[in-house]
């Protein structure tokens, strides 16, 4: 009787069916199903599946580095790699690059304002593209004027980091795509910080930190307004213009940049932290271009 009571009162826990211990264990199986291609399906279904897989790979390969570089300094850029390759192809001379990273807080405010005044005065208020500047550049080019571009600072960051030099609709399309990614995933302050660190200020001299040391023998936070304007003045053609031995044209351009810096004022840079709706219009004047 005692044994029967024990048997009746015992309530063993039912054995649960086998299941993954956590969602992590289910990831490989889910990934396998996601990427599997049904080769017994029709050609149209297989082509659509392959296209979807290729799109996902492209998005992961492009969005991931842009997202990482929002916080991490880039170890190099596409333009630096291209510069090294070209120098080595010519015999190795000039393959050594001068480059050092500088946080935005360690760069003189005058240098920040100078590049905005010189390259992209609408930087605080646009979303990656200055359509008025593009339209003006197109009109000048069509009217037989000197060829010029309408690239914003955001576009130049996208191009310098991820793409190669030159033109073509394919590269321009990729530039526009990366510009949208940069503008969507980075704050304006980060875009300006990266630009000041990857722009070329001399032959093989990248970033305002290296440029200030090479040309003026000082750290970037010690740059004067005129020195910052000289650095910004050579951005259109850093291999031909020299901020330490400026030509008459470079001096003229630097003086124009100083005038625009004074017109914009330090408050212009404070607009970078505001919302798009709060950003007032900026002066639409343009600088002399090379």
What is the total residue count of the chain? 290
Give the containing element (helix H, strand E) for 57: helix 43-68
Q: Once rounded to an integer, what is the mean pLDDT over residues 110-127?
A: 94
For 52, phi and psi rounded to 5 degrees?
Answer: -65, -40
132 or 162, greater pLDDT:
162
Q: Is the pLDDT of residue 284 over 90?
A: no
- The burial class, CB within 10 Å (0-12 / 13-18 / 19+), for 117 is buried
pLDDT tens for residues 223-279?
Answer: 999 999 999 999 999 999 999 999 999 999 999 999 999 999 988 888 786 444 444
How much is the pLDDT for 32?
A: 60
- Cα(258)–Cα(281) distance, rounded to whole angstroms? 20
Beta bridge partners, 206, equal 99, 200
The token duo for 253 is 């351009």
8 pLDDT more than 70: no
pLDDT value at position 166? 79
Strands of the sheet containing 200-202, edge to edge, are: 98-99, 205-206, 200-202
Q: Looking at residue 88, what is its pLDDT?
A: 82
pLDDT score of 22: 60
Distance of CA 153 to the CA centre of its chain: 9
Where do runs of H (alpha helix) occur along the chain?
A: 2-9, 23-35, 43-68, 78-89, 109-119, 131-142, 153-162, 169-185, 188-198, 208-216, 225-233, 248-264, 267-270
d(CA 285, CA 290): 16
Q: How much is the pLDDT for 290?
A: 46
Q: Does the pLDDT value for residue 168 go beyond 90? A: no
pLDDT(150) > 80: no
Q: pLDDT tens, 173-227?
A: 999 999 999 999 999 999 999 999 999 999 999 999 999 999 999 999 999 999 9
Task: Write out the two tokens for 34.
Answer: 């996601």
Average confidence score pLDDT of the chain: 82
- Give the largest CA-CA distance in the chain: 113
Over residues 11-65, the pLDDT tens digits come to 555 555 555 556 556 656 655 665 666 666 677 877 888 888 899 999 999 999 9
The 10s digit of each residue's pLDDT in 69-96 is: 999 999 999 999 999 888 888 776 556 7
């Amino acid at each position: 009787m005692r044994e029967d009571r024990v048997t009746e009162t015992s309530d063993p826990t039912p054995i649960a069916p086998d299941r993954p211990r956590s969602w992590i264990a289910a990831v490989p199986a889910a990934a396998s199903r996601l990427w599997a291609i049904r080769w017994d399906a029709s050609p149209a279904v297989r082509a659509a599946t392959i296209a979807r897989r290729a799109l996902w790979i492209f998005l992961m390969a492009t969005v991931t580095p842009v997202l990482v570089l929002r916080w991490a300094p880039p170890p190099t850029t596409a333009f630096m790699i291209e510069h090294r390759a070209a120098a080595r192809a010519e015999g190795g001379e000039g393959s050594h690059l001068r480059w050092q990273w500088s946080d935005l807080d360690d760069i003189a405010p005058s240098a920040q304002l100078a590049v905005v005044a010189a390259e992209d005065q609408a930087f605080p208020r646009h979303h990656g593209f200055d359509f008025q500047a593009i339209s003006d550049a197109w009109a000048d080019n069509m009217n037989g004027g000197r060829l010029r571009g309408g690239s914003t600072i955001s576009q130049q960051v996208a191009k310098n980091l991820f793409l190669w030099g030159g033109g073509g609709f394919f590269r321009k399309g990729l530039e526009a795509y990366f510009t949208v990614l940069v503008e969507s995933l980075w704050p304006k302050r980060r875009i300006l910080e990266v630009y000041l660190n990857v722009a070329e200020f001399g032959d093989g001299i990248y970033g305002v930190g290296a440029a200030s040391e090479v040309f003026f023998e000082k750290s970037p936070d010690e740059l004067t307004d005129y020195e910052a304007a000289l650095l910004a003045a050579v951005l259109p053609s850093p291999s031909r213009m020299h901020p330490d031995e400026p030509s008459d044209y470079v001096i003229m351009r630097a003086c124009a940049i100083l005038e625009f810096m004074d017109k914009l004022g330090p408050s212009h840079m404070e607009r970078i932290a505001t919302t798009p709706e709060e950003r007032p219009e900026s002066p639409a004047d343009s600088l002399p271009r090379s």
